[in-house]
Amino acid sequence: MIEGKSTKMTMGVGDIFTPCGLRADVEGIRDYYGTRGCVDVLIYPLKKPTVETGTMDLVFELQENEKAYIEKIEIKGKYKTKDKVVRRELAVRQGEVLDPV
């Protein structure tokens, strides 16, 4: 769980570990944090095998960096349409948290 909310993870308890599943889970975590403005989150998957039971615990250690914000939007190449008309059609605004997804 991240911040009290569950995320869709590829590998669950009792599933077989695969590198593709690990990559998918890391990308899922990166997308989760990316939608909240943490585009530079560092993710360290720690694998802890248990020989007695033949299982592996997978723990993700995360390091969040500062949130990214949209600083300046430059509109170039327009000839007839006014700047404010183009800006009102954009899905983002200056000063908003950056969402790369």
pLDDT at residue 1 tops 80: no
What CA–CA distances, in Å, run from 99 to 36, 46, 86?
A: 7, 27, 20
pLDDT at 4: 46
Q: With the C-alpha atoms ordered 28, 29, 30, 36, is the resulting torsion angle positive or negative?
A: positive
Whether residue 60 is predicted with pLDDT greater than 50 in this model: the reply is yes
Q: Is 45 within 8 Å of 59 (Cβ atoms)? A: yes
pLDDT score at 6: 54
pLDDT of the residue at 101 = 62
- What's the predicted TM-score (pTM) here? 0.67
Q: Give the pLDDT band of residue 7 (cuts 50, 70, 90).
A: low
